[in-house]
A and B are shown apart, each in its own frame.
Chain A
C-alpha cells in the first residue's frame, strides 16, 4: 500500500543476507597458506562481500529502488537476491539459496513485528547499514556508495509522520503474512515458538513517546485535572532509557537489525510441519508466474545491476548453507511444494531486449571495463540462464 516500502524491504533483507553469507564464509574458510585451490580463504571472503555490497549499492540501482512504487511479489524480489548473491565468485545451489531467502525473510519479519514504534524500522535499517559499512571499511569507494544511500534514506524517510511509517509497517506485514518458518537460532533464543510464531514479550521498555500503562487521569470541564486512578495488568513495563539516533552516525539504541550470527551460532531452518495457511495463501497469488509490471520492474532494476562475470579461468566457489553436501541435497528433495519459490524463467523476449538495451545505453560507464564491448549481451545471457 505504501509506495515507499521497497527501499526499506530491500536494504534490510540485503543486510540479513550479508550477515548470513559472512557467517557461512567465515565458518567455511581456511587459512590462506593451507587452502587448496577450491577452498575459501579470508581474502576470498572479503572479495565476495565487497563485490556483493558494491553491486547492491550501485547508484543506478538505488535510483530505481527509491522511486515510489508498490511492493512486488516474493518471487520477483527473490530473483533480485539470486542475482546479487551471484555477483561475485561465489555460487549457491538452489537449496542453499532457498534457505538463505527463508532466513533473510524470517529475520526481517521478526524485526518489523518487534519494532517498538513504526519509525524504529528506520533505526533497524540504519543498524544494517552500519554493519555493512563495517564489512567494507577497507574500501573507501564502496564505503562512499553506502554513505550515499544512507543520506538518501535520511532525506526520504526522516520527515515522514508516524502514521506514514505505520502504513509502511502494515505493508511489510502484509508481505510477510503467513510465513512461519522455524529458524534454529530463534528457537534456541526463545524468540520463536515451536509453531513458528514469534514471542511477543509483554514486559520491558515501552516505545519512546509511550507511557507505561496504568494511569487514568480525569479532567473537569475547565481542563483541570481532578482525579487520578490506576489499574494493573499482567504486563511488566518500564520507561525507556533513550531514543535511538537517526543521524548518519549515532547510537541506534535498538538491538533489532544487528548481527545475531557468529561462527559459533550456525544457521539452520526446519521445514517440517508447514501450516495449512501457507498453502491457501499461495493459491491467492496470480496464476501467471510474473505479472507484466513485475517483469518491467525487474528489467529496470536489473539494468542497474552491473554483474561482473568471473574473469579468465576462475571458476565459481560454491558456498553451502547447510553443514554437509548431503544435507543440502536432502533439503532440495524434501522442500514442501507450497514453500517453493519457483525461480523465474525470464524469457528475453524481443520487447525485453529492446528495453534492456535502452537502459544499458543510458547507463554512464564510470571507468572503462575490460569487457564493456559485450556488456549488453552478457546481461541478457545472464537473464536467459535463470
Chain B
C-alpha cells in the first residue's frame, strides 16, 4: 500500500481568548466554493469567531438577566443545510441561532431552567444539521430538540422532541456520505455511551439503539453507514449503523477523547484527546468481505496541551485544525 501523505504544521491562528475544555470545541466553516475559511472556538461565556476577512468577533451567550453571571456556552457549530448555513450556539440557558457570519440572531430557544439549581445541571449540548431542513440540538435531560429551519428568515419552529436518551447528550452527527438502506442518517450520543440511530423526515424514526456500557461517548460521526464514536476511556469504536454491530475497536488514546471529525471524500477520520495527541485514520470497507477497516495514518503531539477540538478544513481531509484547553491559538496542519 502507498505511504499515506504526511501532515506538517502549517500555521497558527491567534485567538483573542483561550479555548475551554469542552467536547468538540472547534467548528470550521469550509464552503467548497470559497477559499476563505472561518473558525469558531468557545471560551467560557463567549464564542470567538475567526475568519480570513475582517477582525475576529465574539458572540456572547444569551439569557443572563439578573443571574450570577453570563451563562456558559457548551458548544458552537456551523450547520450547513441545502438552503442556508446557520451558526448554532448551545449554553446553560438555551439555543442561539445566527446567520453564518454571526451578524444576526435568527432564533432563540430557552431551556426550562429551574429557579434554584438542582443537583442535575441543565444545559444544551450536541448540534447537527439533519435531513434537508432540520437542525438537532441535544439537552442535559437526554431529549433531542428538532428544529425546522425555513430557507430564509426567522420562522424557526420546534418540530419534535426525541426522547430516547436518559443521560445528557454529548454529540450528534448526520450522515456525511451515502446511507445504506435502513441504516438511518442521524446518530445521537450521550454520557452513558448509548447511541441512537434515526431516520430523518417530517417525523423522525428511531431505527436502532446501541446501549452504552457506562463509558461516555463524547464525539460521534456517521459515514456510509459506519458510526465512528470516541469514548472517555480513549477508545474509538466503529459500529454498523444498520445492525448496531461493533465492527472495530481501537485503543486510540491514553485519555478521554474530546473530538472526532470525518472527511467525506476519502473516509479519513480525525481524533483529538486529552492525552495531547491528534490522530488521522483511514476508514474503508473491504469490498469482498464487507468488513470495515481502519488504518492509522498519522499522529501529531500537541505538546503540553489537552486537545479539545479537531476538525478537517477540507472535504478530502488534507488539512485540519486543532484547539486545546488554555491555548489561545488554532493550530493548522
CA distance A286 to B254 in the complex (A): 38
**Which of A166, A234, A237 contacts B216 (CB under 8 A)?**
A166
CA distance A277 to B277 in the complex (A): 24
Q: Do A162 and B67 form a contact, CB below 8 Å, given A233-B277, A277-B17?
A: no
Residues of B within 8 A of A210 (CB): 233-234, 251, 254-255
Complex interface residues of chain B between 54 and 105 (CB less than 8 A to chain A): 66-70, 72, 74, 92
Q: Which of A95-103, A126-134, A191-199, A259-267 contacts B (4 or more CB under 8 A)?
A: A191-199
CA distance A14 to B197 in the complex (A): 46
- The 5 A-B pairs at the shortest CB distance, nearest first, are namely A163-B191, A231-B296, A211-B251, A3-B117, A293-B68
Would you call B68 and A199 a contact (CB within 8 A)? Answer: no
Q: Do A223 and B46 form a contact, CB below 8 Å, given A170-B20, A231-B296, A281-B17?
A: no
Q: Mark B171-196, 1 if CB is under 8 A from A, else 0.
A: 00000000000000000001110000
Q: Mark A140-164, 1 if CB is under 8 A from B, else 0.
A: 0000000000000000000001111
A183 to chain B, nearest CB (A): 16
Q: Do A280 and B119 form a contact, CB below 8 Å, given A202-B277, A213-B253, A223-B245?
A: no
Residues of B within 8 A of A4 (CB): 119
Would you call A202 and B20 a contact (CB within 8 A)? Answer: no
Closest A residue to B118 by CB, please name it. A68
Closest A residue to B191 by CB, please name it. A163
Would you call A3 and B118 a contact (CB within 8 A)? Answer: yes
Q: Which of B5-13, B27-35, B199-207, B286-294 contacts A (4 or more CB under 8 A)?
A: B286-294
CA distance A193 to B305 in the complex (A): 12
Q: A365 an interface residue at 8 Å Cβ cutoff?
A: no
CA distance A113 to B308 in the complex (A): 13
Complex interface residues of chain A between 204 and 224 (CB less than 8 A to chain B): 206-207, 209-221, 223
Q: In this complex, which of B17, B117, B275, B291 has the most chain A Cβ atoms within 10 angstroms of its Cβ?
A: B275
Would you call A1 and B121 a contact (CB within 8 A)? Answer: yes
CA distance A46 to B84 in the complex (A): 68
A351 to chain B, nearest CB (A): 15
The 13 sampled A-B contact pairs (Cβ below 8 Å) are A113-B325, A166-B232, A178-B326, A200-B276, A210-B255, A211-B235, A216-B248, A219-B249, A220-B291, A221-B240, A221-B291, A226-B289, A234-B301
CA distance A166 to B301 in the complex (A): 22
Q: Do A237 and B249 form a contact, CB below 8 Å, given A3-B118, A211-B234?
A: no
Complex interface residues of chain A between 278 and 336 (CB less than 8 A to chain B): 280-281, 284, 286, 291-294
Q: B22 an interface residue at 8 Å Cβ cutoff?
A: yes
Q: A177 an interface residue at 8 Å Cβ cutoff?
A: yes
Q: B252 an interface residue at 8 Å Cβ cutoff?
A: yes
CA distance A69 to B291 in the complex (A): 49
Would you call B299 and A233 a contact (CB within 8 A)? Answer: yes
Q: Do A163 and B234 form a contact, CB below 8 Å, given A177-B43, A193-B304?
A: no
**Which of B18, B218, B301 contacts A177 (CB under 8 A)?**
B18
Q: B215 an interface residue at 8 Å Cβ cutoff?
A: yes
Would you call B254 and A113 a contact (CB within 8 A)? Answer: no
**Which of A170, A214, A226, A229 contacts B291 (CB under 8 A)?**
A226
Residues of B within 8 A of A209 (CB): 215, 233
Would you call A219 and B328 a contact (CB within 8 A)? Answer: no
A169 to chain B, nearest CB (A): 8
CA distance A199 to B118 in the complex (A): 36
CA distance A219 to B43 in the complex (A): 40
CA distance A178 to B66 in the complex (A): 26
CA distance A169 to B69 in the complex (A): 19
**Which of B68, B191, B233, B247 contacts A219 (CB under 8 A)?**
B247
Would you call B251 and A218 a contact (CB within 8 A)? Answer: no
A46 to chain B, nearest CB (A): 38
What is the number of residues of chain A that contact chain B, defined by CB distance less than 8 Å? 64
Q: A70 an interface residue at 8 Å Cβ cutoff?
A: yes
Q: B154 an interface residue at 8 Å Cβ cutoff?
A: no
Residues of A within 8 A of B325 (CB): 113, 173, 177
A72 to chain B, nearest CB (A): 7
Would you call A284 and B191 a contact (CB within 8 A)? Answer: no
Complex interface residues of chain B between 98 and 140 (CB less than 8 A to chain A): 116-121, 123
Would you call A177 and B20 a contact (CB within 8 A)? Answer: yes
Would you call B234 and A206 a contact (CB within 8 A)? Answer: yes
CA distance A44 to B18 in the complex (A): 44
Q: B167 an interface residue at 8 Å Cβ cutoff?
A: yes
Q: A116 an interface residue at 8 Å Cβ cutoff?
A: yes
Would you call B67 and A293 a contact (CB within 8 A)? Answer: yes
Q: A174 an interface residue at 8 Å Cβ cutoff?
A: yes
A180 to chain B, nearest CB (A): 8
Q: B157 an interface residue at 8 Å Cβ cutoff?
A: no
Residues of B within 8 A of A200 (CB): 276, 303-306
Residues of A within 8 A of B16 (CB): 280
Would you call B254 and A212 a contact (CB within 8 A)? Answer: yes
Q: Do A215 and B121 form a contact, CB below 8 Å, given A118-B256, A174-B44?
A: no
Q: Mark B137-153, 1 if CB is under 8 A from A, else 0.
A: 00000000000000000
Q: B250 an interface residue at 8 Å Cβ cutoff?
A: yes
Residues of B within 8 A of A292 (CB): 66
CA distance A173 to B19 in the complex (A): 11
CA distance A1 to B275 in the complex (A): 23
Q: B266 an interface residue at 8 Å Cβ cutoff?
A: no
Would you call A162 and B254 a contact (CB within 8 A)? Answer: no
CA distance A207 to B246 in the complex (A): 24
Q: A73 an interface residue at 8 Å Cβ cutoff?
A: yes
Q: A94 an interface residue at 8 Å Cβ cutoff?
A: no
Q: Do A202 and B21 form a contact, CB below 8 Å, given A213-B251, A235-B254?
A: no
Q: Do A213 and B234 form a contact, CB below 8 Å, given A177-B20, A177-B44, A200-B304?
A: yes
